[in-house]
Amino acid sequence: MGDQKEMSSRKLLGIAGMGWMFDAMDVGMLSFIIAALQVDWGLSVKEMGWIGSVNSIGMAAGALIFGYMADRIGRKNVFMITLLLFSIGSGISAFATSLAAFLLLRFFIGMGLGGELPVASTLVSESVSAEKRGRTVVLLESFWAFGWLLAAVISYFVIPAYGWKWALLISTIPAFYAIYLRVNLPDSPRFLASKKSERVSLLEGFRRVWSGENAKKTAMLWVLWFCVVFSYYGMFLWLPSVMIMKGFSMIKSFQYVLIMTLAQLPGYFTAAWLIEKAGRKFVLVVYLAGTAVSAYFFGNAEALWLLIVSGIFLSFFNLGAWGALYAYTPEQYSTSIRGTGAGMAASFGRIGGILGPLLVPYLVANGVSISMIFLIFCISILVGAAAVLILGTETKKTELAP
């Protein structure tokens, strides 16, 4: 029986993880496509920033809407809808001929991306035992690294030779995978066991996440999500472009970012091991502090070796922290508002994802140095770490609230 349950949780991890990987592939590819579109369409730095920000506006809307829907119609159904939305949207965007059309499509793609992530982590959290829950969700998040690696490989080999349109067409593969998911993905046993009468409205869900003992948890999560998303999208969407600003060619920049991306995997795997040994708070605080230090050195690096080494550590610590964030978030709420609570936190965080990519080009246009920009991200990450340290409670090996 135990072996069967183990097999079932591994199957769920694989199926949900593949969806997560395709999500990451789309976001990762966007950072390379932004750099290519600047050349192809002659975009200004500010127009480039809007591509990342519109994506995040869609993600904010998607996290809120689909997080709530997951509490109403089930985790599996929403996971399917979001996966199809961003997969098909990516394919259609390959045929966009203007920035306005591309931005509109990025909004809908963002909705799918933003809704899929908190729903997938909630589904997995509710389907594994308390002893393995944290590790399993971090391992789920590790598929993000494989998605970024896939994006970096496709971008490195496809975009310079064949153009960004072909890269986007390749990203439609998840749409076909979603058909397979419909048959194979089990829904959350906790959701299936909950009564329809317990399912709350969006307004009631908002009231409950901000009332009683939930208020402190929600405040902590919203600050944490905002700081992490603001810094992540501000830094990582601009990595290839920052490398170009520092004087490297597009090919070299893509190559160096690919090397940095490889460091995400050990970041996830060490976080997955530590999260059940040392706890969620320890992993979040230590890995966020490591991210802040790495961001400072990356922004100030002049020598190539320091740029690559600090970029490697930036990837290592930042993505390990992301894994812990997705494990920690659904553990704060009861089943009836878990999707809503996780979705709202992620949605608020996406406001940071809107501001981060816009901040870089606006500051660059006003003569602010890359080192000063990365210092801002460094401070943001430290604020997020402080929120967890002061307001957070440890949830290691505790049963989820019914």
Residue 194 lies inside a defined structural domain of this protein: no
Residue 189 lies inside a defined structural domain of this protein: no
Q: Which two tokens stand for residue 53?
A: 């920000």
Q: How far is CA 337 from the centre of its chain?
A: 21
pLDDT at 120: 85
Residue 397 lies inside a defined structural domain of this protein: no
Residue 227 lies inside a defined structural domain of this protein: yes
366-399 core/surface letters (b: 16 or more CB in 10 A; e: else): eeeebeebbbbbbebbbbbbbbbeeebeebbeee
Residue 188 lies inside a defined structural domain of this protein: no
Q: How many CA atoms lie within 13 A of 255 on its CB side?
A: 7
Q: Which two tokens stand for residue 232?
A: 């992540």
pLDDT at 249: 66
Task: Tell me if 350 sits within 8 A of 114, measured CB to CB.
Answer: yes
pLDDT at 402: 66
Please count the structural domains in the chain. 1
Question: What's the CA gap between 288 and 98, in Å, rounded?
Answer: 38
Q: How far is CA 61 from the centre of its chain?
A: 15
Residue 399 lies inside a defined structural domain of this protein: no
Residue 192 lies inside a defined structural domain of this protein: no
Determine the structural domain holding residue 371 and report its residue range: 2-182+200-391
pLDDT at 294: 94
The CATH number of residue 74's host domain is: 1.20.1250.20
Of 60, 20, 75, nearest in space to 330 by CA: 75
pLDDT in tens, the chain (402 residues): 444 455 477 788 888 888 888 888 888 888 788 888 888 898 887 788 788 778 888 988 999 999 889 988 888 889 888 988 888 898 899 999 899 999 999 999 999 988 888 888 888 888 888 888 888 888 888 888 888 888 878 888 888 888 889 988 988 877 777 777 667 777 888 888 876 656 777 788 889 999 988 999 999 999 999 999 999 888 877 776 777 776 766 667 667 777 777 888 888 889 989 998 888 999 999 999 999 999 999 888 877 888 888 888 998 999 889 989 988 999 999 888 898 999 999 999 989 888 887 788 788 888 888 889 889 999 999 999 999 999 988 888 787 776
